[in-house]
Amino acid sequence: MESFEGKSLFLNRSDINTDEIIPARYLTEISKQAMGPHLLEDLVLPGFNPTSDVPDKGVLVTRANFGCGSSREHAAWALEVNDINVVIAESFSRIFRQNMFNCGMLAAPLPPETIDHIFETFADRETHVETDLEQNMFVFTAKDRDGKEIREEIPFTLGEFDRELLEAGGWVNYADSRY
Amino acid sequence: MGKTIAEKIFDTHLVDNPSGDIHVIGLDSVFCHEITTPVAICDLMDRAKDRVFDPNRIKAVIDHVTPAKDSKTAEQGKILRDWARRHNIRDFFDIGRNGVCHALFPEQGFVRPGDTIIMGDSHTCTHGAFGAFAAGVGTTDLEVGILKGVCAFSYPKTIRFEIAGDLPAGVYAKDVILTVVAELGVNGATNKVIEFTGETVDAMSIESRMTLCNMAIEAGATCGICRPDMTTVEYLWPFIKDEFDSKQAALDAYAAFTPDPDAVYDSMISLDVSGLCPKITYGYKPDCVKPVADMAGEKIHQVYIGSCTNGRLEDLRIAASVLDGHTISDAVRGIVSPATPTIYQDALAEGIIDIFMKAGFCVTNPTCGACLGMSNGVLAEGEVCVSTTNRNFNGRMGKGGMVHLASPATAAASAIAGSIANSNRYKK
Ligand code: SF4
């Protein structure tokens, strides 16, 4: 299975589309690795700089309808080759969500209030997120201004089929063994 | 309990129900193009699974960048071409016979009511115009489709969009779907199917229905779908005449894929189009829609007429009826891409290409090209384009470019004016 933890990247906007995640001009690449440097390259968001903000992150937290637009799985791969295997959002586009699980990656929707709360508490801090797949729980940790640890456990739900895809390492393995 | 169109299609294609509402369905066709399929092919080869479930049910085309513009796009075309040959995929369309997938495949008779289709392309929803369930998928779903002929979906919930009223002059299916997307929002139909119904849809040609279904994904929908009727049968007749004794017999058979009167919908929305005006997008999301009148006069640099949304003969006829006798503004570059070779030839025969060329348009070969900013009309930073395509995302037609989505009539009028314009200014 992929690793589902790491430092968190916060993107505070809804409807981030696949062209913003990986622009069409890189779709002529045939290797996944080639997507790496171009993740979120066209995303215009105040305070966000892809060159400095993307490296060494493991988890992405964002708002509603993440990954809308094209069907390109390149969007999931661009995250994967940057070691970001978890996206937490208010909601996802159908195809993007399916692509994530098909690649054995985790797309977890959380209620808007919870996402609001996460942004309020953690977005301005260096935050680490761990995923407990047994308890269906994210563990967010950061330090407050006095250096004291802030720690929150945030439950999520995972469909049975999605869990099986994660365990099988994606849909090709799952389908080939079954159909 | 009655069923929607999508529910009837799912129930006749069920292969497995691994858990909850997840349905693995059998596929009638898998469509492929050269942008998303080569990665799937390479991965299947890496996994030592370079097989196809049924070469007759796989259709492939090189359409996004054709002829190849550089070594990388040449390589993508080559991977698809070699694969099609290796597996005896007879319905493979290369240079000279190729065109935009969602215009070409229906034109070849590959889409039938009740079919299940996937493709590694989000606008696969276009084929719902025939009463098929057709969904865009990512590369992994495509791989499994190629290998096993199955795909997993949640059991479909359907939004019913009941459209009534006669379309006013100068208002077209594109204006209707822009209105629908604005009403639902870019997220309003996520994980759902949109069933387009009502007297306005009944009166529409298959081409117009394709324009409607094409942009269902812009509201997040898995598929747009129209009930099959006599218009569908008439369109398909050359391909199905050996299958049925009469058109009525075909219609009766396809009735299996019309919705039941007591079908249960997730929601029902009515729209009266009799007072609708031409629409255009502003901003970078397809649900940012305004009347053309509110944007009139805004300067533009390029007009693009083409794509799977509005590159069919009907669309070129509409644009030509506005352009006839006019020349486009010096400030504007006009580009038209007939979506398939047949459309191109028909447009030539009807004198439409002549009208475009006399007006000052550049006519390209059938290709996606400019629509996704890959070739044949990429915008420079700061440039503005009125386009008959379906996406106005930031950078879609070129980094730093601005795209306003509109009907072929509005696009043609804007080309003449050199700024956003309503077609009633020019149409006789
Ligand atoms: S015309 Fe544009 S939207 Fe349609 S398939 Fe081609 S690139 Fe995609």
- Distance CA(A33)–CA(B260), nearest Å, equals 49
Helix (H) or strand (E) holding B116: strand B116-119
Is B261 exposed, middle or buried, given 0-12, 13-18 or 19+ CB atoms closer than 10 A? exposed
Ligand 1 centroid to B100 CA: how many Å?
7
Q: Whose CA is nearest to atom 1 of ligand 1?
A: B307
Strand A59-62 relative to strand A86-89, pairing? parallel
Chain A residue numbers touching B374 (CB-CB < 8 A): 24-25, 27-28
* B148–A179 C-beta distance less than 8 A: yes
DSSP per residue, B64-101? SS-S--SHHHHHHHHHHHHHHHHTT---EE-TTT---H
- Distance CA(B350)–CA(B346), nearest Å, equals 6
Ligand 1 centroid to A54 CA: how many Å?
30
- Distance CA(B135)–CA(B360), nearest Å, equals 38
pTM for the whole thing?
0.95
- Distance CA(B45)–CA(B428), nearest Å, equals 58
Q: What is the ipTM of this complex?
A: 0.90
Chain A residue numbers touching B285 (CB-CB < 8 A): 15
CB of B71 less than 8 A from some CB of A: no
CB of B396 less than 8 A from some CB of A: yes
Report chain A residues touching chain B, CB-CB < 8 A.
14-15, 17, 19-20, 23-25, 27-30, 42, 44, 64-65, 68-74, 76, 91-96, 98-99, 102-103, 159-161, 164, 170-172, 175-176, 178-179
Helix (H) or strand (E) holding B395: none
Q: What is the dihedral of CA B296, B170, B288, A75, to 10 degrees?
A: -120
Residue of chain B nearest A99, judged by CA positions: B138
Cβ-contact B102, B308 below 8 angstroms: yes
Nearest to A102 by CA among B405, B356, B153, B70: B153
Q: Tens of pLDDT along chain B (428 residues)?
A: 899 999 999 999 999 999 889 999 999 999 999 999 999 999 999 999 999 999 999 999 999 999 999 999 999 999 999 999 999 999 999 999 999 999 999 999 999 999 999 999 999 999 999 999 999 999 999 999 999 999 999 999 999 999 999 999 999 999 999 999 999 999 999 999 999 999 999 999 999 999 999 999 999 999 999 999 999 999 999 999 999 999 999 999 999 999 999 999 999 999 999 999 999 999 999 999 999 999 999 999 999 999 999 999 999 999 999 999 999 999 999 999 999 999 999 999 999 999 999 999 999 999 999 999 999 999 999 999 999 999 999 989 998 999 999 999 999 999 999 999 999 999 76
Phi, psi of B234 (to 5 degrees): -60, -45
Structure tokens at B100: 């935009």
DSSP per residue, A120-139? HHHTTS--EEEEETTTTEEE
Best interface-test mutation with B: which of A16, A21, A27 has the largest number of B CBs within 10 A? A27
Residues β-bridged to residue A140: A129, A152
Strand B29-33 relative to strand B157-164, pairing? unpaired
Nearest to B187 by CA among A12, A156, A90: A90
Mutation probe of ligand 1 site: the residue of B63, B100, B364 with most atoms within 8 A of C-beta: B100
